[in-house]
Amino acid sequence: MKNSFSHAHNRFLDFYNKKPEVLSSAPGRINIIGEHTDYNLGFVLPACIDRNIQFLAKRRTDDRVSVWAEHFKESEHFFVHDLRVSKEKKWVNYVKGIFWVLEREGYSLGGLDAFIIGDIPIESGLSSSAALEVSVLNALNKLFYLSLSKEKIARLSRKAENDFVGVNCGLMDQFVSVFGKKNMALFLDCGTLIYEHVPLLLEEHGLNIVVYDSRVSRELSASEYNKRSLESGDALKILKISGVKNFKEADNDLLEDNRDKMGDILYRRARHVITENQRVIEAVRVLKERDFHKLGELLFESHLSLRDDYEVSCPELDLLYTVGKKFGGCLGARLTGAGFGGSGIALVEKAQTDAFINKLKRESKNHKFTVPVFHEVKIGEGAYVQ
Ligand code: GLA
């Protein structure tokens, strides 16, 4: 970890001239497969990356919270009993949101001096916001003896983002940040919250995951994301008339039977969710057999479904798919996260990684796209606090 606790600890000490009482760290994520299925109560297969946000804090005797955000070189303060959304400093809303959600749940909290430092790329679709929420909540859980379970930590972090920050996300990002494990993907049923860790041993199979950060602004993502969520909800209402309770219970035949009732858009949204759920199950199966070639094919298929049926891709993310599909050492590639910009992932043979990155750089230039940024990530540990 680049920003190790000792570095963060020393920065806190320099800044406040006292030691922190709690050091909390939570990772960002990639999603291997299972996109736009979480809020549809389906299957996902994300994994933590070895990039984290750390939140360090010491309690105060009053109810003032002072926070320094190292990345933005900005500080902000607020009061525990007066929590309002900040228009200027968006990052502080993730901290305030956690206080807000805990206050609403009836927990009694006090003020803090706090410090945020991390190495997750921001605004890249790698869930730095979920990592911040989880690291703050884990810290407050410890400092104020709240005894919250890990599941509750994931759920309340999501609630802060939904109801305070105002982003209508599902549970995947917060859940994997809490429950993820090193060198493991997390297979989660978002309907039941039953989960299983599945080994993702890239290193010993000579593979890398390359993150391709398109640097495309994700302005549209919130409104289009909500639209997709409404559309898939409407599609499900139609399927429910045939007796299924959720998308997981629906199969291709049922979908085809309802095609005319749905109309083209709802049909395609539903087709994505149904087939993506099937791909997650299949991905878990092939991963257990260490069949990375088959896994790669599923990633390519997922991208096509997201591009054509769910319509959440963009030309820059599609370039990752087309280059990946033709490049010998790339086993699979797809957009990861919400889409509409943000990042994609590619499963690439280690020895071919530099050549793959160079090829994509050249192709991006030929297309006159914004210069993308590449990250080689490892599958990291879930959140921890000390
Ligand atoms: C964002 C959301 C997640 C999930 C993905 C799409 O990352 O935060 O909850 O819905 O998009 O799979």
**Measuring from atom 8 of ligand 1, which residue has the nearest CA?**
169
Say how far apart CA 3 and CA 210 lie, in whole Å.
Answer: 21
Identity of the amino acid at 305: S
Say how far apart CA 74 and CA 92 lie, in whole Å.
Answer: 10
| Three-state secondary-structure class, residue 253 | helix
Q: What is the DSSP string of 264-279?
A: HHHHHHHHHHHHHHHH
**Measuring from atom 11 of ligand 1, which residue has the nearest CA?**
338
Q: What is the DSSP string of 230-244?
A: HHHHHHHHHHHTTT-
Say how far apart CA 176 and CA 44 lie, in whole Å.
Answer: 10
Q: Go through the chain and tell me how many residues it has.
A: 386
pLDDT tens digits for range 112-165: 999 999 999 998 899 999 999 999 999 999 999 999 999 999 999 999 999 999
Q: How far is the CA of 128 from the centre of ligand 1 (A)?
A: 12
Say how far apart CA 208 and CA 348 lie, in whole Å.
Answer: 5
Say how far apart CA 172 and CA 70 lie, in whole Å.
Answer: 26
> Which of 31, 32, 35, 38 has most ligand 1 atoms within 8 Å of its beta carbon, as the pocket-test mutant?
38
User: Is 213 designated active site?
Assistant: no
Whole-angstrom CA distances from 381 to 49, 50, 125, 205, 346 are: 7, 7, 19, 20, 20
Query: What is the pLDDT, as a whole number, of residue 4?
Result: 67
Q: How far is the CA of 339 from the centre of ligand 1 (A)?
A: 9
Query: What is the pLDDT, as a whole number, of residue 222?
Result: 77
**Measuring from atom 1 of ligand 1, which residue has the nearest CA?**
338
pLDDT tens digits for range 212-242: 999 997 766 778 999 999 999 999 999 999 9
As a whole-number percent, the residues of the chain with pLDDT over 70 amount to 98
pLDDT tens digits for range 155-173: 999 999 999 999 889 999 9
Average of pLDDT values for 3-21? 91
Q: Show the ligand 1 pocket: residues with CB < 6 angstroms.
A: 31, 35-36, 38-39, 169-170, 172-173, 337-338
Q: Which of 38, 50, 113, 173 is catalytic?
A: 173
